[in-house]
Chain A
């Protein structure tokens, strides 16, 4: 029975993720003063990609890359509680299990894209991994005070301890929440931190040799990744009490990052890394100090 529930949540999140991507394109279009595609465009894209007859593959690892990526991100999804009500696998693991599972997706894709003999792909991956040195630390340090404040390392307990509006962790630790938001922009790979998939510089980075069904799997991976990454932020800082609040919260946070993405240029890669050691690091360190002083 539990398995059906898990698969149900998995399908729900894929659909919501694709919806978010469709609405994101519409919002970006509206910002650029044009109509933009219908909101269900992402479904059509994925369906078209899976209906492709014959696509090029550069070897077994190249074909398995997207499969591992999608499998990795779906496993991570099951470890993320979707708000209080949703009984997912969160009883089996806590923050560190989640943080180390979330890496399987990009690692799978990196191995796959590396197999193709295209330098664009590997440069994209080298950028993605180096960028991780930037935002991953800030995200971790942003969530630290909340976990230590509630004396737990499991995301589900953090949600339980956060009741209605006044005692959200985001309100208690506003600086860490801001630092986490900036780090989220890097995690989602939205401009100004989309160096790894820069279409103009490195021909869409790691996905340069992926077409047809591989790209379809990667689109699904991106859709689930949006929900998982914003979900972590929402769970930690705003403790949604039920699944509706969860999806509303992730939607708002994602739209915020999409709006930033629509208007921002793209940093150079070393600027992006060093950016994260400037203001966001300061914000997050102040958040930790706030915890120490206010324990």
Chain B
């Protein structure tokens, strides 16, 4: 029985019917759990041997009005199996408890997600701006952030897309040196 099935087995009898666990592909185990179960699950997996929280990523489902947070865990003694814990948040309404006590490296991941998506992590000591100095616009990675309009307004340069599309048909003119 492969290692990922063993992991799925363990996760299943821990979660029971609270969350679904499946194998996406070889060595990739996914678990979808409600928001309040994420931290206990992280602690559990950490004791099992998943010492490394490689990343926290966030997906913005604009149409569903949901943010999806994915915690990537990795361990050396599980023959390279990655465990991904997914959870969903209401856009701009829900906040997420911070995972700093369990995984200290979550400090910067959460700061970046806050800067790029605007999710507030309770218990995080420093949520001020991180990479974008003097940033005054809305969090830029959100789907409803209109980059072209922002660029035009801030850097005073109009959108080149139509210009390039319009030029597409005309043959290439030989520009004479003035």
A–B direct contact (CB < 8 Å) = no
* B interface, CB within 8 angstroms of A: none
* A interface, CB within 8 angstroms of B: none
